[in-house]
Structure 1
Amino acid sequence: MTTKTAGTKSRRTAAKAPAKAARAEPIRSLDPAKGIKTVKDLADHLHVAAQVELSTIPLYLYAAYSIRTRGHSQWAAPRGVLRSLIGISIEEMLHLALVRNLMVAIGYGDQITFYDEKFIPSYPTWMMNRYNPDDPDGEEIYLSLQKLSKEQVSTFRRIEMPDDVKPDAVTFEAHPEAVGHYKSLGALYRSIQDGFTRLDGEGKIRWRLEDARKQYKRAFWNEFGNGKPIRVHNLETALAALKIIIEQGEGTLKDHEHIKVRSGVEDYTHYEKFLRIQRGEEGIGAGDGDKYEIKIDDPKATWPLVPDPALDDFEAHPGIHSLMTLFNAAYCYTLCLLDELYKHSTDDVTTKKVPGTEREEYFSHRYGLERNGVAIMQGVLYPIAQALVTTPIPNDPEGRHAAPSFEFFDFSTDKRITRKQQLIDLCDKAIDHFPALGGPDGIQRQISLLADI
């Protein structure tokens, strides 16, 4: 069935001056000066933390998609810029899931929805709930979809930047004159940490053990990173989940460089990874035919992407418009998929007889949803993004290329057509302009294999 979908709700062309950037509204109001006094306060802080986590993922992915050299390191290093950015993006997805697990654990799981126009960020914008007067680069952080560069990596570094603390410090303090803001993302999480400890000690948290199996736990894989989902059911597991989020981002209070994965194995924090990229210690690769390595700001390193693309700006270019729309829909489908899996328990395993045989196989709808999350990130989003970034914008005076915009896509609510079918229809339209989307292992086929939600 083919029907018209409501489509992407696009922002208008963004002013490039930071002062004119849209200021995103937090999904909940926070007051750092007051702190976390109730379980509702705790849930509100977690909800906003999830919103902040989501606001960073498009930035990191956009920079990764912009890499022209595919990140092959001239030093044959195990990492490389592309791998680091992809690994960090997946770890941010892990943080998003861990925060939602925490909300489910305290009885507020039904209060958060990822596929929500108010929850999904729009760019350019200012980072929510972050105000640090001691940051030499500015009290606030301007978030903009930009190709990889030293300047953009500097922004990434600031996002993950730890507070300036004494070696014997045990907590980070909110800035007293900035109601509604914390000095760093780590400070926000440390407030949440303190809230869990205090409220549990006061007996105010009722741990929802009956919903524990609705939390995200399985089918997580990150070749270029570390950490894994934790099922939260008591204070110990809650603090373990928060420890992963904080230490992956900025490290411990005494070590902002390394994170201990397991005995004998260490990795770098996000903060340190961005410093290494900024210093040129992570390989970005060599261009076709080039014998020597190229630097991060070399034009050969990245595609000349249009910054902060907006769908409305490409109505005169139907091919690019159709591909950007498909990307936005696939991106939002990923969020819908995550919302859907949190509605189902991992206890849904059943057996089904294989047609024509006496053999039985185990089946889990929930596990299928989890596997689909990995499949759409690798098999759908990345290939669409690659098709966009390699496409020059016709008659663009600066010779720029198209790029994904990560905008909210308004799926039709018509019950006669699933969101998957809407994706298929959008792909069919884009194939008219980009035939490579088809084929036996193309994006069209990958979409056909997705779960029907």
Structure 2
Amino acid sequence: MTTTYTALPAAYAPPEANRPIDTVESLFSHLYDAARLEMSTIPLYLYAAYSIKTANVSQWSSGPGAFRLIKSIVIEEMLHLSLVRNLIVAIGYGEHVKFQHKAFIPEFPTPMLCRVPDLELRLAPLTTELVRDVFMPLELPAKVDAPPESDKYQTIGQFYKAIFDGFQRLCGVEPGTYGRPDQAKQKALFRHNRMDLQYTNAYWNEGGGGAPVIVHDLHSALTAINLIVEQGEGMDPDQQEVPIDPQDPAGQQQAGLFEFPHYVKFKRIADGWEPIGEVYPMPDNPRVSQFPEGPVRDLGQLACAAYTYVLAMLDELYNTSGNDVKPGATSPRYGLERKFIAAMQGLLFGVIKELVRIPITEGPYCDLHAAPTFEYYEFPEDRSLTQHLRELCERVLPHYPALGGDNSVLWLISERMPQDLQ
């Protein structure tokens, strides 16, 4: 199966297998693919997590349970996505990336980007088989001596190693060594950096490890890449724990603050150590167009709109300078950061929580439950995104009154979201 992307950034060129990254243009293309790769994991894991009817099997369970483990992985994948975009901003290509763009949002099922052999990524209710057949191969640790692969890689770790080497090469450092960067080359690579546009505050990061890295030189770029890899994308198979803060491994080791990498977290679910609990009977790779006409389909569209809206807010964040963030002052950037969290945790989750409870009684998904499809939603151009989102919510409110009232989805849209978001 081949995924077709349209309207990719003009600066993007498909990576060539076995060709090292030796130009800033090639580096951007690889980072853009890294962002697409990270993006493809988030709906995948969220769908599985939202399929769980109970957050845990029992309050007496010894471990955190499947839901909390997957939630922690999603939080870290979001961190990885922001780290990759920080890297892109640092080399001067930030304006070429738009998360809200239709070409950036994956459609499922889809093959894992550039992986050999092919691995089909699909939206499906959580089972141990799904974890073992899809999630664990996706997060497969790289072997210690695995070569960097800029395309046709077997593990994500090999792909990031190629990007790591590319940063070194463009800064005048022999890949695989610990040499000091050539100051002129390093300055040239980061000459168009806008640190004020990078993401700095992970308010949403409760339950996950690590924190955003402000990329401004070779060392900080490599730190960001290592953070991504250390949290599970390319871990040494023999290493079963990683520090909660990979930027301070010695201090974290001394304090005993460790967590499992992604691969091990998924293995614990597959092996039955972390119980899944009761799961909604949701369809594989659903489409809103296949939902019965009427309220259910309208709610499915609202979920897609909320998902696209959250990505639009993240784009707006990266277009808003953080230089005005000062104690005691009103800051547009700080306001957007807080509203983004509300949109992700209250708006998107609020709609999906209502959606998955609905049994479908007709059509191709008969006897299953409705589910989030994570499809791109085309907002109309004649009004703000927030205004249209509110209209979609008001349309379904008579059928799903839980979306209204104090601190509800409709309240968040009307009172807490940026009303001029385009």
- What TM-score do you get using the length of structure 1 for normalisation? 0.82
SS in 2 for 1:363: coil
Matches within 5 A, 1:121-270: 121-131=106-116, 139-154=117-132, 155-163=134-142, 165-166=143-144, 169=145, 172-174=147-149, 180-201=151-172, 203=185, 205-208=188-191, 211-250=194-233, 252-253=235-236, 255-261=238-244, 262-263=252-253, 264-270=256-262
SS in 2 for 1:249: coil
1:110 to 77, 95, 105: 95
Segments of 5+ residues of structure 2 without an aligned counterpart are 173-181, 245-251
| Residue 433 of structure 1 pairs with residue 399 of structure 2 | yes
The worse-fitting range, judged by mean Cα deviation, of 184-193 and 260-269 is 260-269
Distance 1:31 1:304 in 2: 41
Distance 1:54 1:71 in 2: 26
| Residue 402 of structure 1 pairs with residue 370 of structure 2 | yes
Residues 336-366 of structure 1, C-alpha deviation per residue, up to 9 Å, x if partnerless? 1111111111112478xxxxxxxxx521111
Paired residue for 1:68? 53
Paired residue for 1:423? 389
Residues 160-212 of structure 1, C-alpha deviation per residue, up to 9 Å, x if partnerless? 1023x25xx3x5343xxxx9422211111110001011111261643147511
Distance 1:226 1:124 in 2: 29
Identity %: 41
Q: Is the 8 A contact 1:67 1:82 kept in 2?
A: yes
Q: Which residue identity lines up with residue 16 of structure 2 in the other structure? A: D
Q: CA RMSD in A?
A: 2.0
Paired residue for 1:282? 274
| Residue 342 of structure 1 pairs with residue 318 of structure 2 | yes
In the TM superposition, residue 320 of structure 1 has moved relative to its aligned partner by: 1.0
Q: 1:240 to 1:73 in 2, by over 3 A?
A: farther
Distance 1:22 1:385 in 2: 29
SS in 2 for 1:410: coil
Q: Which residue identity lines up with residue 322 of structure 1 in the other structure? A: D
The worse-fitting range, judged by mean Cα deviation, of 428-437 and 269-278 is 428-437
Distance 1:281 1:67 in 2: 16
Q: Which residue identity lines up with residue 418 of structure 1 in the other structure? A: S
The number of equivalent residue pairs is 391
Paired residue for 2:290? 313
Q: Is the 8 A contact 1:220 1:229 kept in 2?
A: no
In the TM superposition, residue 258 of structure 1 has moved relative to its aligned partner by: 1.4
SS in 2 for 1:440: coil
1:303 to 275, 280, 290: 280
Segments of 5+ residues of structure 1 without an aligned counterpart are 1-20, 132-138, 286-300, 352-360
In the TM superposition, residue 431 of structure 1 has moved relative to its aligned partner by: 0.8
Larger RCO, structure (CA 8 Å, separation 6 or more): 1
Q: Is the 8 A contact 1:329 1:409 kept in 2?
A: yes
- What TM-score do you get using the length of structure 2 for normalisation? 0.88
| Residue 445 of structure 1 pairs with residue 416 of structure 2 | no
Q: Is the 8 A contact 1:189 1:246 kept in 2?
A: yes
The worse-fitting range, judged by mean Cα deviation, of 421-430 and 252-261 is 252-261
